[in-house]
Structure 1
Amino acid sequence: MLKPAVYGFRNDDTSILTLDSIGWQMINTPDYSFIGEERPDCGHVIFQYTMSGQGYLEYEQQRFPLTKGTGFLVKVPSSHKYFYGDQKEPWEIIWLNLRGEEANRIWDYVIAMEGPVIQRDSDSSLIQGLWKLMRMVAEEKVTDKYQLSLGVYEWMLTLVQSSREMTKDVSASTSTLIQTAKKYMRDHFADPLTLDMISEHCGINKHYLCRLFQRSEQSSPLAYLRDRRVEAAIALLRTTDLPVQDIGQTCGFDSPSYFGKIFRQYMHMTPKEYRMKKLEFPYDAIYLE
């Protein structure tokens, strides 16, 4: 049966992502306080999640209450402090510390997207993945650095995915509009579509459609349309003998020169070069979504 415990790992392998430590604790003393610029154990990142009770995080001159369902991400060293304070209820937390360049990159990405404190339900895939790592160590007695690294990579992918989903902030009706626009562009990419035509099909203003796409996809409707056209062109270049000029026209590009320009932006080579390089690029289709 899983019980509160803390586990640490030590190795000198800097070539891979490594689990530095992981733990499940019940904090009930004001002595629990860590200052990011004063810790002797530097060079790692921390994710800590509140199961119950409350603590605090001070980060860049802001104070955040760490209530149930919140987790924080910090790097050591950095300007932060997290602590229990003088509470009546114990602070139940689960956390992990990681080392490696990839962990630092992911932390920078999520903090830029959501800030240092994030909200997740305890039954979310992110937190359930954290418990899975805890059980690997505590119950399955996994200590091999490669197995642990594999588990941590999986958990970090969940972190990135959930962060992107949280920052989309798209309602059900908005999602339906975006899917309607996407289907229309997938079905009619060969036609000379305009933003006005796409928005009219969806029954909304073109400026509103662009804002929805930016919020949901961090992109634009016309960028989505261009992706689908390039995908179609790649497939035709590899699976047919159609002349390059005809392929560009078939896929909705205004002119051969424009087709060549856009194709080089995506594939860093001309359409003809891609068609010839079957050994280096043995793909009948490439998906850009």
Structure 2
Amino acid sequence: MEPSVYGFRHEEQSMLTVDSIGWQHIANAGYAFSGDDRPDCGHVVFQYTLSGEGWIEYEQRRVRLPKGSAFLVRIPGNHRYYYEENGAPWEVLWLNLRGDEASRIWDLVLAQEGAVIRRDADSPLISQLWKLYRTVSEEKITDKYRLSVLAYEWMLALLQSSRDAGREVSSKSHTLLHEAKRLMKANFASPLTLDAIARELGVNKYHFCRLFQKAEHTSPLAYLRDRRVEAAIAMLRTTDLPVQEVGRRCGFDSPSYFGKVFREYMNMSPVAYRNKKLEFPYDAIYYD
């Protein structure tokens, strides 16, 4: 691929659309954009530094934009981003979007991280952005609907990465948490205890609990209970097993405790749920 800039103009107002996308090498001090006096308005901007550096001014702050950093702004808006002469040439990959959904996602990310964020070059967010750029530059796709699908995928990657960033856990911890969740999903029917889970993972149970709570905003045992109830709901709707046996196979040794927990989730007993003619009879329900 080669650096280039692409713009799209159409009358579509009812959905998310790509306004423009570009890959640029900037070494001219004339490169400067002020959010308050641009002729093009009504869109949001994401710009990622591939190499070199630029600067952005917002909220009475002046922030350097080195490799791996990006900013999110609205047009119009009270900000200014620019290349400073004699700095390392600034290589950027950027995307401008229009639509209410883009503004909504911008609000969520700005509230979570602020206007300047950091992402690795091989992160899903930047990989998705390259995919969108490649679709335009190499495949020559310009259909607004196909580009909108890719833009939605990219925004979901942005939102997920922002929420993951808010969890503030290392890659090693992510691996541990992934293994913990895999273990609980695979063994929800077993009498798992916190001690047993921590022992299987080879970690201190108190450290594990703190880490899990920080990253997932729930406790390990609450996560395990969610998986057990999910399994019980599916089993009640898709098998003729006695309710007590369903509870046992889903990790609830006590029928009374199974009934109590099930009521907390579904506002009815397991028997009532099985017998009730639901307007929307799901075969499975997932809690996240």
* TM > 0.5: yes
- What is the count of residue pairs matched by the alignment? 282
Contact 2:177 2:212 in 1 (8 A): no
Instruction: Map residues 109-148 of structure 1 onto 2, 5 A cutoff.
Output: 109-148=108-147
Tell me: CA distance 1:122–1:190, structure 2 relative to 1, closer, same or farther (3 Å): closer
Compute the displacement of 1:46 (Å).
0.9
Q: Pick which of 157-166 and 55-64 moved more.
A: 157-166
**Residue 154 in 1 paired to residue 150 in 2?**
no
Compute the displacement of 1:231 (Å).
0.7
Tell me: CA distance 1:208–1:185, structure 2 relative to 1, closer, same or farther (3 Å): farther
Corresponding position of 2:265: 262
- Match of 2:257, SS state, is coil
Compute the displacement of 1:99 (Å).
1.2
Corresponding position of 1:170: 170
**Residue 183 in 1 paired to residue 183 in 2?**
yes
Contact 2:189 2:248 in 1 (8 A): no
Cα distance in structure 2, aligned partners of 1:156 and 1:90: 28
Tell me: CA distance 1:147–1:178, structure 2 relative to 1, closer, same or farther (3 Å): closer
Contact 2:188 2:228 in 1 (8 A): no
Residues 51-83 of structure 1 show CA distances to partners (whole Å, capped at 9, x for unaligned) of 222111123233221112221122233332211
| Unmatched 5+ stretches in structure 2 | none
Residues 185-237 of structure 1 show CA distances to partners (whole Å, capped at 9, x for unaligned) of 7525564x665675577676654333201233232213202211211211221
Cα distance in structure 1, aligned partners of 2:201 and 2:23: 49
- Match of 2:232, SS state, is helix
2:57 alignment partner AA? E
Cα distance in structure 2, aligned partners of 1:244 and 1:165: 38
Residues 81-101 of structure 1 show CA distances to partners (whole Å, capped at 9, x for unaligned) of 211122343322111101122
- Match of 1:261, SS state, is helix
Instruction: Map residues 48-63 of structure 1 onto 2, 5 A cutoff.
Output: 48-63=47-62
Q: Pick which of 15-24 and 110-119 moved more.
A: 110-119
When the two structures are superposed, what TM-score results if normalisation uses the length of structure 1?
Answer: 0.80
**Percent identity of paired positions between Structure 1 and Structure 2:** 54
Corresponding position of 2:68: 69
Cα distance in structure 1, aligned partners of 2:142 and 2:185: 50
Cα distance in structure 1, aligned partners of 2:201 and 2:87: 55
Cα distance in structure 2, aligned partners of 1:150 and 1:188: 36
Cα distance in structure 2, aligned partners of 1:184 and 1:138: 44
Instruction: Map residues 1-289 of structure 1 onto 2, 5 A cutoff.
Output: 2-168=1-167, 169-172=169-172, 175-176=175-176, 179-180=179-180, 183=183, 187-188=187-188, 191=191, 207-242=206-241, 244=243, 247=246, 251=250, 252=252, 254=257, 256-264=259-267, 271=270, 272-273=272-273, 276-277=276-277, 280-283=280-283, 285-289=284-288
Residues 140-176 of structure 1 show CA distances to partners (whole Å, capped at 9, x for unaligned) of 3222110110121222233234444444423526743
Residues 237-272 of structure 1 show CA distances to partners (whole Å, capped at 9, x for unaligned) of 1122345576457642626344212223xxxx7653
When the two structures are superposed, what TM-score results if normalisation uses the length of structure 2?
Answer: 0.80
Tell me: CA distance 1:274–1:157, structure 2 relative to 1, closer, same or farther (3 Å): farther
- Match of 1:254, SS state, is helix
Tell me: CA distance 1:224–1:54, structure 2 relative to 1, closer, same or farther (3 Å): same
Cα distance in structure 1, aligned partners of 2:210 and 2:201: 14
Contact 1:36 1:76 in 2 (8 A): yes
1:263 alignment partner AA? M
Residues 98-121 of structure 1 show CA distances to partners (whole Å, capped at 9, x for unaligned) of 112222222233333433222233
Provide the alpha-carbon RMSD of the alignment: 3.2
Cα distance in structure 1, aligned partners of 2:194 and 2:120: 38
